[in-house]
Structure 1
């Protein structure tokens, strides 16, 4: 059964209340916001201060807000709960609304899945009679909430049209996710068995069905270029991947294409050097044009590592160092970055900086020393390149 506007609100199934008094049911006459979120979700963390403001602003109008952490990532529920509690203490010590924790997936199934909601943060507004008034991103609450509170929202054509559109979009997204999972399973099975030819066949079927799926395009290039090392088939695939990424003007697509060419973890010696550098130059220049070093924001901490590696391997060590330092500085920029993501992207950047400098490098409390053989390997490639071009 589809959960939509006018549906009775599902029950509250929360294992632990980490903040605020426990809530077992919705009280008549009050309006509730049920907010699904997670500590690793950047937009979730970014919107929390505003939710605090909404709770304060409308508390005398009968508003109560409860956040539901249903997607925490940890080996056990106890570890997830402890990590969540620590995060809340560190980030939001004066939180003015309830936080519940559910590791069973029951809340997600009752609320998110049944409403075709596929991402977080997602807000559910429960009206004074216990029925759903709104489902959608919390950024829309400024406009919707006052209308819910004064009783005008659910009868409006705007509300009905928005809910119909939301359900249709959610159905399409869920269908897409179902297709993607079905296409991914045989690829992963073949890769686990290290049957690279079978994996290529499966991924080519997936690309034919979903050509704009970045994960499939990355796997296709990686299998051909780095598992089978098949340049005859792999190079045309790589050229098309790079061209599509540039045509889309999409920073993540271009970064993934660039990483296929300049990931230092791969042995790229079988690539034609001139073509690899030419593709790297074009991709890097497009990334820097789309997200310049002097401009705040963007995904520098995700994309500049691959760009820096291109410049290092092309012989411009100073530019490589500069770009890695920009990427590290962007981690403290104006846009909130989840701690989990920060912990994931920082070590490789610091290691790259140490490798490029040939000396110890530090960022905040994290330090790294050059990897043995990294600088020498790069110099050999440069000497080989100079001989070929000379």
Structure 2
């Protein structure tokens, strides 16, 4: 049975209550928000202060909020619970709502799966009579919650239309996930052991099967280019694959795709000495200019920290060191922007960017508490292009 608006709320089955008093059942007359989240989920943690505000604002109206951590990632349930408890103590020591932990999958099955809810954060609002009143992203609660509290939401045409669209969209998304899983599982059964054994020829064969049936799956396209260009160093086959990858990325006008293609050409960790320099720089120029047009440095577009590292490396290797430094500095500033980002990812990206900054400047660089010094063997800027640039400036 599909869990949707007007459905009776499923039971609460959590292993441990880490914050607040245990809640065994929903009490008549109260409104509950059941929030599915995880510590590794940037959008989940970003919305928590707002949930604290909602709990405080509407507590006298009978609102009770409970967060359900059902997707924690750790080798064992005990480790996940311990890590979660420590995370809460560090990040939200004065949390004003309950937190339940479940590693059995029971809560996800009862609530998330049965409602066609795919990602987190997801909020379920249980009305005063114990029935579901709303399922969706927690940032939509500002508009919906007052109407639920005064009893006008569930009878509105807006609520019915939104719930129908949510269910239909969820069905389509879950169907697509199931379709992709059916296609990828037999391929991954061949690809994973080949990658582990570093049998690159077998890995290429497996990933080519994947690309044939899922040409729009970015991870497979990037892996295909990487295997041919960097593992097998097969330019005869790899160059046409790379050219097509770059063309498709630009045609899609998708920043993530363009960054994925550019990363194959200008990752400092990869040896590109065998790659024809003129063609590599030409593809890099095309991809970099399209990325900057789509998400310009002076604009407020998000996630510059993900794509600008590769763009900066292109400019550095093409001889424009100043532009490379400028773009890395923009990328570092974007880490403090409004886009949710986990602490782990933030630290990793910051380390890479500060390392690049040190290499570009040729001296120690710091950003916040992260510092780096120039590395030996780092790809150098094109001296020919540097001389050309200096000549033009002179």
Corresponding residue of 1:3: 3
Corresponding residue of 1:126: 126
Of 203, 221, 232, which aligns to 2:207? Answer: 203
Give 4+ residue runs of structure 1 displaced > 4 Å after superposition.
381-387
RMSD: 2.4
Q: Distance in 2 between matches of 1:128 and 1:253?
A: 46
State which drifts further: 270-279 or 355-364: 355-364
Equivalent runs, 1:222-237 vs 2, <5 Å: 222-237=226-241
Corresponding residue of 2:191: 187
Q: Secondary structure at the match of 1:23?
A: coil
Q: CA deviation at 1:242?
A: 1.3
CA deviations 1:223-243 (Å, max 9, x no partner) are 222223222222222122212
Q: Distance in 2 between matches of 1:31 and 1:314?
A: 60
Q: Distance in 1 between matches of 2:77 and 2:361?
A: 42
Corresponding residue of 1:159: 159
State which drifts further: 44-53 or 33-42: 44-53
Structure 1 position 169 matched with structure 2 position 169? yes
TM-score (norm 1): 0.90
Corresponding residue of 2:143: 143
Corresponding residue of 1:343: 347
- Count of residue pairs the alignment pairs up: 384
Q: CA deviation at 1:197?
A: 3.4
Q: CA deviation at 1:23?
A: 0.9
Q: Secondary structure at the match of 1:378?
A: coil
Q: CA deviation at 1:367?
A: 1.6
Of 280, 290, 293, which aligns to 1:289? Answer: 293
Equivalent runs, 1:199-278 vs 2, <5 Å: 199-278=203-282
Q: Distance in 2 between matches of 1:293 and 1:35?
A: 36
Q: CA deviation at 1:20?
A: 1.6
State which drifts further: 361-370 or 330-339: 330-339
What runs of 5+ residues in structure 1 fail to find an aligned partner?
A: none
CA deviations 1:256-314 (Å, max 9, x no partner) are 11001111111112221111101101111121222222234411111111111111111
Q: CA deviation at 1:385?
A: 11
State which drifts further: 93-102 or 251-260: 93-102
Corresponding residue of 1:23: 23
What runs of 5+ residues in structure 2 fail to find an aligned partner?
A: 389-394
Corresponding residue of 1:378: 380
Whether the 8 Å contact between 1:65 and 1:98 is mirrored in structure 2 is yes
Q: Secondary structure at the match of 1:55?
A: helix
